[in-house]
Amino acid sequence: MGSNSVVSRFLDKPDDLGVVAVGFSGGQPKAGVDAGPAALIQSGLLQQIRDDLGYRIHGDTQASETRGRSRPSIRSSRRSIAIGSLAGSAKATRERLNSDIAVIWVDAHADINTPESSDSGNIHGMPVAFATGLARDDREEYFGWIKDDMRVSVRKLVYIGLRDVDPGEKKILRDHGIKAFSMYDVDRHGISRVMEMALAHIGTHTPIHLSFDVDALDPMWAPSTGTPVRGGLTLREGDFICESVHQTGQLVAIDLVEVNPSLAATEAGAQETIRAGCSLVRCALGETLL
Protein backbone atom coordinates (compact mmCIF):
# COMPACT_ATOMS: atom_id res chain seq x y z
CA MET A 1 0.00 0.00 0.00
CA GLY A 2 1.59 3.26 -1.06
CA SER A 3 5.27 3.41 -0.27
CA ASN A 4 5.20 1.72 3.14
CA SER A 5 3.59 -1.14 5.03
CA VAL A 6 1.00 0.71 7.13
CA VAL A 7 -2.08 -1.48 7.47
CA SER A 8 -5.45 0.24 7.22
CA ARG A 9 -7.64 -0.41 10.25
CA PHE A 10 -10.93 0.33 8.51
CA LEU A 11 -10.65 0.01 4.72
CA ASP A 12 -11.20 -3.24 2.82
CA LYS A 13 -9.61 -1.76 -0.32
CA PRO A 14 -6.92 0.60 0.97
CA ASP A 15 -5.12 0.75 -2.38
CA ASP A 16 -8.23 2.06 -4.16
CA LEU A 17 -8.41 5.84 -4.09
CA GLY A 18 -11.59 7.72 -4.93
CA VAL A 19 -10.90 11.25 -6.14
CA VAL A 20 -13.54 13.99 -6.13
CA ALA A 21 -12.10 17.24 -7.50
CA VAL A 22 -14.65 19.92 -6.61
CA GLY A 23 -14.13 23.37 -8.11
CA PHE A 24 -16.17 25.74 -5.95
CA SER A 25 -15.80 29.40 -4.95
CA GLY A 26 -19.10 30.09 -3.20
CA GLY A 27 -19.43 31.51 0.31
CA GLN A 28 -16.86 34.29 -0.17
CA PRO A 29 -16.02 37.07 -2.66
CA LYS A 30 -12.61 36.03 -4.03
CA ALA A 31 -12.55 34.39 -7.46
CA GLY A 32 -10.12 31.75 -8.64
CA VAL A 33 -10.22 29.14 -5.90
CA ASP A 34 -12.46 26.96 -8.06
CA ALA A 35 -9.42 26.42 -10.30
CA GLY A 36 -7.43 24.86 -7.45
CA PRO A 37 -8.32 21.19 -8.01
CA ALA A 38 -7.54 21.40 -11.73
CA ALA A 39 -4.19 23.04 -10.98
CA LEU A 40 -3.26 20.22 -8.61
CA ILE A 41 -4.21 17.58 -11.14
CA GLN A 42 -2.45 19.34 -14.01
CA SER A 43 0.72 19.46 -11.93
CA GLY A 44 0.82 15.66 -12.05
CA LEU A 45 -0.53 14.81 -8.60
CA LEU A 46 -2.69 11.89 -9.69
CA GLN A 47 0.14 10.40 -11.73
CA GLN A 48 2.45 10.69 -8.72
CA ILE A 49 -0.09 8.97 -6.48
CA ARG A 50 -0.58 6.18 -8.99
CA ASP A 51 2.99 5.61 -10.17
CA ASP A 52 4.97 6.40 -7.02
CA LEU A 53 2.57 5.30 -4.29
CA GLY A 54 0.81 2.45 -6.08
CA TYR A 55 -2.82 3.49 -5.72
CA ARG A 56 -5.60 2.56 -8.12
CA ILE A 57 -7.36 5.85 -8.81
CA HIS A 58 -11.09 6.15 -9.41
CA GLY A 59 -12.46 9.49 -10.58
CA ASP A 60 -15.93 11.00 -10.71
CA THR A 61 -17.01 8.78 -13.63
CA GLN A 62 -16.31 5.68 -11.54
CA ALA A 63 -17.92 6.87 -8.33
CA SER A 64 -20.21 3.84 -8.13
CA GLU A 65 -17.20 1.53 -8.02
CA THR A 66 -15.76 3.18 -4.92
CA ARG A 67 -18.70 2.66 -2.61
CA GLY A 68 -16.87 -0.15 -0.81
CA ARG A 69 -14.39 0.66 1.90
CA SER A 70 -11.89 2.35 -0.36
CA ARG A 71 -10.14 5.56 0.61
CA PRO A 72 -11.86 8.71 -0.70
CA SER A 73 -9.52 11.65 -1.25
CA ILE A 74 -11.74 14.68 -1.58
CA ARG A 75 -9.77 17.59 -2.97
CA SER A 76 -12.12 20.52 -2.88
CA SER A 77 -11.51 24.19 -3.39
CA ARG A 78 -13.26 26.52 -0.94
CA ARG A 79 -13.47 25.93 2.84
CA SER A 80 -17.27 26.07 2.78
CA ILE A 81 -17.32 22.94 0.61
CA ALA A 82 -16.03 21.04 3.66
CA ILE A 83 -19.58 21.10 5.05
CA GLY A 84 -20.46 18.56 2.37
CA SER A 85 -17.28 16.50 2.56
CA LEU A 86 -17.52 16.14 6.34
CA ALA A 87 -21.22 15.27 6.15
CA GLY A 88 -20.49 12.62 3.54
CA SER A 89 -17.63 11.13 5.53
CA ALA A 90 -19.63 11.08 8.75
CA LYS A 91 -22.63 9.40 7.12
CA ALA A 92 -20.55 6.81 5.23
CA THR A 93 -18.52 5.96 8.32
CA ARG A 94 -21.64 5.40 10.40
CA GLU A 95 -23.28 3.30 7.68
CA ARG A 96 -20.29 1.12 6.82
CA LEU A 97 -18.27 1.02 10.03
CA ASN A 98 -20.91 1.77 12.68
CA SER A 99 -18.61 4.43 14.06
CA ASP A 100 -18.37 8.15 14.53
CA ILE A 101 -15.67 9.90 12.53
CA ALA A 102 -12.86 12.00 13.96
CA VAL A 103 -11.84 15.19 12.18
CA ILE A 104 -8.38 16.73 12.27
CA TRP A 105 -8.87 20.29 11.03
CA VAL A 106 -5.56 21.90 10.03
CA ASP A 107 -6.11 25.60 9.44
CA ALA A 108 -5.08 29.10 10.43
CA HIS A 109 -8.78 29.71 11.16
CA ALA A 110 -11.27 27.84 13.33
CA ASP A 111 -14.16 28.23 10.84
CA ILE A 112 -16.58 27.58 13.68
CA ASN A 113 -18.48 30.87 13.70
CA THR A 114 -22.24 30.65 13.85
CA PRO A 115 -24.54 33.12 12.08
CA GLU A 116 -24.94 34.81 15.48
CA SER A 117 -21.20 35.08 16.27
CA SER A 118 -19.96 36.03 12.80
CA ASP A 119 -19.26 39.66 11.99
CA SER A 120 -18.91 39.06 8.24
CA GLY A 121 -21.71 36.56 7.69
CA ASN A 122 -19.49 34.62 5.27
CA ILE A 123 -20.37 30.93 5.10
CA HIS A 124 -16.71 30.00 4.60
CA GLY A 125 -16.17 30.94 8.26
CA MET A 126 -18.90 28.56 9.48
CA PRO A 127 -18.39 25.05 8.03
CA VAL A 128 -17.40 23.43 11.31
CA ALA A 129 -20.36 24.97 13.11
CA PHE A 130 -22.80 23.52 10.58
CA ALA A 131 -20.95 20.19 10.34
CA THR A 132 -21.16 19.69 14.11
CA GLY A 133 -24.67 21.04 14.57
CA LEU A 134 -23.55 24.04 16.63
CA ALA A 135 -25.25 26.05 13.88
CA ARG A 136 -28.40 24.85 12.14
CA ASP A 137 -30.59 25.99 9.28
CA ASP A 138 -33.48 23.64 8.62
CA ARG A 139 -34.37 25.17 5.26
CA GLU A 140 -33.71 22.47 2.67
CA GLU A 141 -32.23 24.93 0.15
CA TYR A 142 -29.60 25.89 2.72
CA PHE A 143 -28.51 23.26 5.25
CA GLY A 144 -31.69 21.36 5.98
CA TRP A 145 -30.19 18.42 4.09
CA ILE A 146 -27.67 17.86 6.92
CA LYS A 147 -29.26 15.15 9.05
CA ASP A 148 -28.09 13.97 12.45
CA ASP A 149 -26.25 10.96 11.01
CA MET A 150 -24.13 13.37 8.93
CA ARG A 151 -22.86 15.42 11.85
CA VAL A 152 -19.42 15.38 13.44
CA SER A 153 -19.09 15.11 17.21
CA VAL A 154 -17.20 17.99 18.81
CA ARG A 155 -15.64 15.36 21.09
CA LYS A 156 -13.83 13.92 18.08
CA LEU A 157 -12.74 17.24 16.57
CA VAL A 158 -9.13 18.43 16.81
CA TYR A 159 -7.68 21.69 15.47
CA ILE A 160 -4.03 22.20 14.57
CA GLY A 161 -2.31 25.42 13.47
CA LEU A 162 -4.81 28.03 14.65
CA ARG A 163 -3.60 31.63 14.78
CA ASP A 164 -6.45 33.85 13.51
CA VAL A 165 -9.50 33.05 15.64
CA ASP A 166 -12.42 35.43 16.23
CA PRO A 167 -13.44 36.23 19.84
CA GLY A 168 -16.77 34.48 19.33
CA GLU A 169 -14.99 31.38 18.05
CA LYS A 170 -12.68 31.32 21.07
CA LYS A 171 -15.74 31.28 23.31
CA ILE A 172 -17.27 28.43 21.30
CA LEU A 173 -14.07 26.39 21.57
CA ARG A 174 -13.92 26.95 25.34
CA ASP A 175 -17.62 26.39 26.00
CA HIS A 176 -17.65 23.05 24.16
CA GLY A 177 -14.25 21.81 25.33
CA ILE A 178 -13.00 21.38 21.77
CA LYS A 179 -9.40 20.22 21.51
CA ALA A 180 -7.40 22.91 19.72
CA PHE A 181 -3.67 23.38 19.19
CA SER A 182 -2.68 26.89 18.14
CA MET A 183 0.66 27.91 16.70
CA TYR A 184 1.63 28.75 20.28
CA ASP A 185 1.31 25.05 21.09
CA VAL A 186 3.31 24.09 18.00
CA ASP A 187 6.04 26.55 18.99
CA ARG A 188 6.04 25.41 22.61
CA HIS A 189 5.84 21.64 22.20
CA GLY A 190 6.96 20.99 18.63
CA ILE A 191 4.83 19.40 15.96
CA SER A 192 5.72 15.85 16.98
CA ARG A 193 4.35 16.28 20.51
CA VAL A 194 1.30 18.14 19.20
CA MET A 195 0.49 15.19 16.95
CA GLU A 196 0.95 12.75 19.81
CA MET A 197 -1.55 14.72 21.89
CA ALA A 198 -3.98 15.15 19.00
CA LEU A 199 -4.00 11.46 18.14
CA ALA A 200 -4.24 10.44 21.79
CA HIS A 201 -7.37 12.59 22.09
CA ILE A 202 -8.93 10.82 19.10
CA GLY A 203 -7.91 7.33 20.20
CA THR A 204 -7.01 4.30 18.12
CA HIS A 205 -10.51 3.03 17.32
CA THR A 206 -11.94 5.94 15.35
CA PRO A 207 -11.65 6.56 11.58
CA ILE A 208 -10.06 9.92 10.73
CA HIS A 209 -11.02 12.55 8.18
CA LEU A 210 -8.09 14.92 7.60
CA SER A 211 -9.16 18.36 6.44
CA PHE A 212 -6.22 20.57 5.46
CA ASP A 213 -6.46 24.23 4.48
CA VAL A 214 -3.22 25.35 2.83
CA ASP A 215 -3.44 28.63 4.74
CA ALA A 216 -2.37 26.60 7.78
CA LEU A 217 1.06 26.85 6.18
CA ASP A 218 2.99 30.08 6.50
CA PRO A 219 2.62 32.28 3.38
CA MET A 220 6.30 31.60 2.72
CA TRP A 221 5.23 28.10 1.68
CA ALA A 222 1.70 28.74 0.40
CA PRO A 223 1.25 32.36 -0.69
CA SER A 224 -1.47 31.69 -3.26
CA THR A 225 -4.45 31.30 -0.95
CA GLY A 226 -7.43 33.44 0.01
CA THR A 227 -6.71 34.35 3.64
CA PRO A 228 -2.97 33.95 4.33
CA VAL A 229 -1.80 34.56 7.89
CA ARG A 230 1.85 34.98 8.84
CA GLY A 231 3.40 32.82 11.53
CA GLY A 232 2.10 29.49 10.26
CA LEU A 233 3.36 25.96 9.84
CA THR A 234 6.40 25.20 7.75
CA LEU A 235 5.84 22.84 4.85
CA ARG A 236 7.82 20.20 6.71
CA GLU A 237 5.51 20.55 9.73
CA GLY A 238 2.49 20.25 7.45
CA ASP A 239 3.95 17.16 5.83
CA PHE A 240 4.65 15.69 9.28
CA ILE A 241 1.01 16.13 10.28
CA CYS A 242 -0.05 14.22 7.17
CA GLU A 243 2.59 11.54 7.67
CA SER A 244 1.54 11.05 11.28
CA VAL A 245 -2.12 10.62 10.36
CA HIS A 246 -1.20 8.11 7.66
CA GLN A 247 0.92 6.13 10.11
CA THR A 248 -2.10 5.51 12.36
CA GLY A 249 -3.81 3.40 9.72
CA GLN A 250 -7.03 5.23 10.63
CA LEU A 251 -7.25 7.65 7.69
CA VAL A 252 -10.38 7.20 5.60
CA ALA A 253 -10.79 10.60 3.92
CA ILE A 254 -8.83 13.73 3.05
CA ASP A 255 -9.77 17.11 1.77
CA LEU A 256 -7.33 19.81 0.72
CA VAL A 257 -8.73 23.30 0.26
CA GLU A 258 -7.95 26.94 -0.51
CA VAL A 259 -5.34 26.51 -3.23
CA ASN A 260 -6.08 29.58 -5.36
CA PRO A 261 -3.60 29.92 -8.25
CA SER A 262 -4.89 33.38 -9.18
CA LEU A 263 -3.93 35.16 -5.95
CA ALA A 264 -0.14 34.89 -5.89
CA ALA A 265 1.83 38.00 -6.77
CA THR A 266 3.95 35.90 -9.13
CA GLU A 267 3.61 32.67 -11.07
CA ALA A 268 6.36 31.27 -8.87
CA GLY A 269 4.16 31.85 -5.82
CA ALA A 270 1.25 30.02 -7.42
CA GLN A 271 3.46 27.07 -8.32
CA GLU A 272 4.95 26.99 -4.82
CA THR A 273 1.46 26.71 -3.35
CA ILE A 274 0.48 23.97 -5.78
CA ARG A 275 3.65 22.02 -4.97
CA ALA A 276 2.93 22.38 -1.26
CA GLY A 277 -0.61 21.08 -1.71
CA CYS A 278 0.61 18.10 -3.70
CA SER A 279 3.20 17.31 -1.04
CA LEU A 280 0.58 17.32 1.72
CA VAL A 281 -1.66 14.89 -0.17
CA ARG A 282 1.20 12.55 -1.03
CA CYS A 283 2.37 12.45 2.60
CA ALA A 284 -1.16 11.70 3.82
CA LEU A 285 -1.27 8.81 1.36
CA GLY A 286 2.00 7.28 2.48
CA GLU A 287 4.95 9.03 0.87
CA THR A 288 8.03 8.81 3.08
CA LEU A 289 11.40 10.55 3.06
CA LEU A 290 13.31 7.26 2.90
- In terms of C-beta density within 10 A (0-12 exposed, 13-18 middle, 19 or more buried), how is residue 200 classed? exposed
249 to each of 67, 102, 276, 281, how far by Cα in Å?
Answer: 19, 13, 23, 15
**Sequence ranges of the domains in the chain:** 13-284
d(CA 83, CA 80): 6
In this prediction, the residues of the chain whose per-residue pLDDT falls under 50 are 1-2, 25-28, 31-32, 61-68
SS3 state of residue 86 = helix
Give residue 64's pLDDT: 39
Fold observed for domain 13-284: Arginase; Chain A (3.40.800)
SS3 content of the chain, % helix, strand, coil (to 5): 40, 15, 40
Query: For 221, which DSSP code?
Result: T
Give residue 81's pLDDT: 74
Give residue 25's pLDDT: 46
What b/e readout covers 101-129, taking b as 16+ CB neighbours within 10 angstroms?
A: bbbbbbbbbbbbbbeebbeeeebbbbbbb
CB atoms < 10 A from the CB of 227, how many? Answer: 18
Give residue 121's pLDDT: 74
158 to each of 127, 133, 194, 208, how far by Cα in Å?
Answer: 14, 16, 11, 11
Q: Which of 211, 15, 67 is nearest to 127 (CA)?
A: 211
SS3 state of residue 102 = strand
Q: List phi, psi (to 5°) of 73.
A: -110, 105
| Residue 280 contacts residue 286 (beta carbons within 8 Å) | no
Give residue 5's pLDDT: 79
